[in-house]
Amino acid sequence: MNLNKMMKEMQKMQAKIAKLQEELGERVVEASAGGGAVKVKANGRQEIVEIKIDPQVVEAQDVEMLQDLIVAAVNQALREAQQMVAQEMGKITGNLPLPGF
């Protein structure tokens, strides 16, 4: 493959990646903890966009448990968002290792 053709292919891939990053920023994944007592949504930019807590788990004696559930749900949502981004990027890059993905 000549260098010009390779450079054009890289530019096409770069444009596809930029477009996908924008699209993934709008996609949302949801995770939960405690059998659905705490639900967290995260987008492809690794931002938490929503947290829902079942009112039945909010009692003074359950605050520590609730905090643990929130941490668990947030971490799961972020892992799922990372996995979504990696899968979509892999479709474009052919699973080539790229920094930051």
Give the per-residue SS3 of the chain. CCHHHHHHHHHHHHHHHHHHHHHHHHCEEEEEECCCCEEEEEECCCCEEEEEECHHHCCHHHHHHHHHHHHHHHHHHHHHHHHHHHHHHHHHHCCCCCCCC
Residue 68 placed within a domain: yes
Counting as low any pLDDT under 50, the low residues of the chain are: none
Q: Is residue 63 part of a domain?
A: yes
CATH number at residue 28: 3.30.1310.10
pLDDT at 99: 60
Which pLDDT belongs to residue 57? 79
Q: How many domains does the chain have?
A: 1
pLDDT score for 1: 59
Full-model pTM? 0.62
The answer to whether residue 4 sits within a structural domain is: no
Structural domain including 86 reads 24-93
